[in-house]
Structure 1
Amino acid sequence: MRQQPPVRPLSLDSLDVSSKPHVQFLVTEHWSLLATRSMTWSEIFSRTGTYLTVLSAAVIALSLVANATGFGPDFRTFALLILPVVLLIGVGTFFRLIEADVEDAWMVLGMNRLRHAYIELAPELETYFVSSHHDDKPGLMRTYAFRDRVGVTHWMSGSPLVVGVVDAVVTGVLAGVICQAVGAAPAVRTLVGVLTAVMTAVVLGMIGYRKVHQVSRDYHPQFPG
């Protein structure tokens, strides 16, 4: 009886890339992340647009009531009813935008890991990738903004910052209306409104920073550069 030759384990490197089922799994996951990221960005634009629409409607309503009542007690009553609702929607939108940005970063890191797998399967393709294949912070920045770091203009143009500033202004206006309702002097109303707006902006900024910093601190990359 002739002895059979030993069976060598199948190596992925010995196969043509197009015949590897692993590539299909990776591509499916990649498209899933792309679709989810697209939905996340659509939600960001939708939530921001909805909040600004509500705010615009509230401003128009306040203007009409002010013209009809001459900024009297009826106007203050109406403002004290509608501004808290607008502020509630705005704060909820701000927190959701922070969460959406964190989710978007996770999906970018996931796609970087998939690119790392592509390069493991076909190392000769590395020079064709514009996005990074490392899942550390520099890799995230490289894929997200095609540079090692983002500047101040990038953060200033972000949806969370815009919504946070609008929330701070709405809070300041609400504080001024409350001061007017209790009979405070104009100078006091102005000072309280400005201080309230500044404090609100600082608090929202700290909350957003702590959320992002916590996620970044607990994350450990698997394929650092």
Structure 2
Amino acid sequence: MSEEPGTPEPDPSPALSPSIRAQLLATEHWSLLASRSTTQGEVLTRISMFLTFTSASLLSVALVGNATQFSDAFRAFALTILSIDVAVGLLTQIRVINVGMEDLMYVLAMNRLRAAYVELDPGIARYMMAGYHDDEAGSGQTYYFLGGRTSFSQVAGSSMMFIMTANAALLALLLGSVLTVVGMPVVVTVTTAALVAMIFFLVSLLRGKRLYDDVWKANPPISPTPPVA
């Protein structure tokens, strides 16, 4: 028997039971946890490799300096090594910033899943210390359950700030070495190197802030934190 025109067709996929929905959400949650752990481990390894490489290269510069009595050949060697250190540091910084954004992505995704858990069973909300709202306030709760931590301390203690500080110092060292080789006065060399390092640090910080702000513009929350009455 044919259906009358305009009659909506029945949905071929029946609604899933709450237990099956919970299993699907939990599977996705574990997948996000594993991916987040792998990403964090990878970036910490990258930072350790960078620090090891930088320490070894600076030690080699000192040894070559003593062996060559700081000749012209030593200057060329030192500038080459410092240039490589800066290049490796910049590549590491790019990865660290990317991982910071990826970590925020994982936090928001898991907060969104917790919101689904609360939707299935509103009674479990009071047992959750991690956030279950996929907005900035919810992510802040997940990063620090107990509250009281300021945004400044969160950023200041991050791997991103660490790598930016290390790269600013390396850049100042490289620039200072170049200016010394060309015969610039010590005052000018130190002032210029310090100024360039500060500019690099501020530009890197602003770029990180812009990437962070873009996250909230491109991903509006579907379970925002309710306003405080």
Unaligned runs of at least 5 residues, structure 1: 1-9
TM-score w.r.t. structure 2 length?
A: 0.86
Partner of 2:11: none
TM-score w.r.t. structure 1 length?
A: 0.87
Partner of 1:175: 175
Map 1:138-157 to 2 at 5 A: 138-146=137-145, 147=147, 150-157=150-157
Structure 1 residue 148: deviation in Å?
A: 7.0
Partner of 1:214: 214
Matched, 1:36 2:74: no
Matched, 1:200 2:226: no
Q: Distance in 1 between matches of 2:176 and 2:211?
A: 30
Partner of 2:161: 161
Partner of 2:110: 111
CA RMSD of aligned residues (A): 1.9
Q: Distance in 2 between matches of 1:48 and 1:171?
A: 17
Q: Distance in 1 between matches of 2:196 and 2:190?
A: 10
* Equivalent pair of 1:133/1:139 in contact (CA under 8 Å): yes
Structure 1 residue 58: deviation in Å?
A: 1.2
For residues 189-212 of structure 1, the C-alpha deviation after alignment (integer angstroms, 9 at most, x for no partner) is 222221221122122212222222
Structure 1 residue 187: deviation in Å?
A: 2.2
Identity of aligned residues (%): 36
* Equivalent pair of 1:141/1:150 in contact (CA under 8 Å): no
Question: Which one-letter code corresponds to 1:185 in the other structure?
Answer: P
Matched, 1:75 2:74: yes
Q: Distance in 1 between matches of 2:185 and 2:29?
A: 60
Q: Distance in 2 between matches of 1:194 and 1:210?
A: 24
Structure 1 residue 185: deviation in Å?
A: 2.1
Q: How many residues align?
A: 212
Question: Which one-letter code corresponds to 1:188 in the other structure?
Answer: V
Matched, 1:131 2:122: no
For residues 92-140 of structure 1, the C-alpha deviation after alignment (integer angstroms, 9 at most, x for no partner) is 1111111111111111111111111111112221211111111111111
Q: Distance in 2 between matches of 1:122 and 1:11?
A: 17
Q: Provide the secondary structure at the position in 2 that maps to 1:64.
A: helix
Partner of 2:98: 99
Unaligned runs of at least 5 residues, structure 2: 1-13
Q: Distance in 1 between matches of 2:29 and 2:205?
A: 33
Q: Distance in 1 between matches of 2:153 and 2:115?
A: 30
* Equivalent pair of 1:37/1:107 in contact (CA under 8 Å): yes
Question: Which one-letter code corresponds to 1:126 in the other structure?
Answer: A
Partner of 2:9: none
Q: Provide the secondary structure at the position in 2 that maps to 1:134.
A: coil
Question: Which one-letter code corresponds to 1:77 in the other structure?
Answer: A
